[in-house]
Structure 1
Amino acid sequence: MSIGEIARSAAEQGGSREEAHERANRRWAEILQETRVAQTGVQILFGFLLSVAFTPRFGDLGAFDTSVYVTTVILGAAATGVLIAPVSLHRLLTGQQLKDDLVKTAGRLMVTGLVLLALTISGTVLLILHVVLPDLLAEILAGGILLWFALCWYALPLALKKRSSRHQASA
């Protein structure tokens, strides 16, 4: 159970509502935990991408594969920067009474970082599959991976949010 779930459960059981500063603190803790998970994945992937350029087969890549590689490395670097940004915000702005703004900004950064991470993963899949499969099949599979991320990371949460809003409106 996450920190946020525990706080919500405690608030519901006690019948009291979560104070605004408690909610901001809980949401901030959740964002930092989510950031840790996303950062680990993007950093491992980015490290892999950086090492590819130093392999013997890298010189054999065609123009398309080199372009995919360069684009993917740039996306990976951007994802790394955006996903680490909430930590920097926290370090530089602690004690400035900006918790609500930090939570909102960090949330937007996380969504941006996840978009960049999905693009980085899809680009990496395309690069790898393009080496071992026929061009069109590699592109279709990489596109399918990108679609899968869009469904899991964006469409599903938005659908659940919409359903929750309908339940709250009818209650």
Structure 2
Amino acid sequence: MADSGRDETAEERADRKWGDLLQELRVAQTGVQILFGFLLAVVFQQRFTSLSSTDRTIYVVTVVLGAATTGALIGPVSLHRMLAGRRLKPQTVTWASRLTVVGLVLLLCTMASSLLLILRVALHSALAPWLVAGVVCWIVCCWFVLPAVAHRHYRDREPSDQ
């Protein structure tokens, strides 16, 4: 087909893309489930009661973000299951891919919020937000800017140049 440089039908392309997406989701889902599990356990620690109201608010926001992230990154599995057998595989892949990107953005927010809470408690200084901002910038570059630059650089090249 013209858009992939492969000789495959739309259904074959959807199957391939679905397999690729599942591999990507396995990595993201595992990470977010571990992070979310740790977040859920924090409230049961003795030191939790000594957190400031600001830190408790950050914690609540972080847990809500973690739950939303989990939902978004597990969502493609549910989407696929609910639409399986209805001859909507290409559309399912498109929507699942979009939901995965939303999940990655939410994961970035969850990680930033978690890091802010941890660094505020550990450092007790104004340095914490700056460190979080630096890490967020790094992740944005790795997850979003680099792929966008690569896409822009290679989109107009002939397949033999890749």
TM-score, L = length of structure 1:
0.87
Matched, 1:19 2:9: yes
Structure 1 residue aligned with 2:129: 139
* DSSP 3-state at the match of 2:87: coil
32, 45, 62: which is aligned to 2:35? 45
d(CA) in 2 for partners of 1:155, 1:134: 32
| Residue identity opposite 1:79 in structure 2 | T
139, 156, 159: which is aligned to 1:166? 156
Matched, 1:120 2:94: no
d(CA) in 2 for partners of 1:145, 1:129: 12
Deviations 1:16-44 (A, max 9, x none): 61222111100011111111111100000
d(CA) in 2 for partners of 1:43, 1:135: 30
Q: CA deviation at 1:134?
A: 3.4
154, 157, 164: which is aligned to 2:144? 154
* DSSP 3-state at the match of 1:135: coil
66, 70, 85: which is aligned to 2:56? 66
| Residue identity opposite 1:167 in structure 2 | R
Deviations 1:52-101 (A, max 9, x none): 00101101111211111010000000000010011111111111011111
d(CA) in 2 for partners of 1:168, 1:54: 57
1:23-102 alignment, distance < 5 Å? 23-102=13-92
* DSSP 3-state at the match of 1:117: helix
Consecutive unaligned residues in structure 2, runs of 5 or more: none
| Residue identity opposite 1:164 in structure 2 | Y
TM-score, L = length of structure 2:
0.91
Higher helix share: 1
Coordinate RMSD, CA, aligned? 1.8
d(CA) in 2 for partners of 1:48, 1:54: 11
Q: What is the aligned length?
A: 157
Q: CA deviation at 1:157?
A: 0.4
> Percent identity of the aligned residues?
50
Q: CA deviation at 1:168?
A: 4.1
Please identify runs of 4+ aligned residues in structure 1 that moved more than 4 A: none
